[in-house]
Amino acid sequence: MLNYGNGHTIGFESAKMFYDINKIVFRAYDMILVMVFHSFGPSMSADLFEQIFNENQNWKFHKGKYMKEYAKLMNYMNNAC
């Protein structure tokens, strides 16, 4: 309703509107992905990070706020063992 009140109708979204929604969706996927890894447990998640995700520098979620912190935890766990 707010967008309609500002003169934005369906099909006439601005580039900034798409950028904003993409940022929100990426953040949501980032949180969900961390929850999924958390549900796998520390040993399986650490194995996945060590064997797959740490080597793939093109993986988009390396830039995610929550995934960065989770990856630090997994690296800490791998180095502590």
The model's pTM is 0.70
pLDDT at 78 over 70: no
Indicate the burial class of 12 (C-beta count within 10 angstroms; 0-12, 13-18, 19 or more). Answer: exposed
Q: Tens of pLDDT along 24-56?
A: 999 999 999 999 988 988 888 888 877 787 778
Half-sphere exposure of 3 (CA within 13 A, CB side): 10
Q: Record the tokens describing residue 69, joined without a space.
A: 């912190």
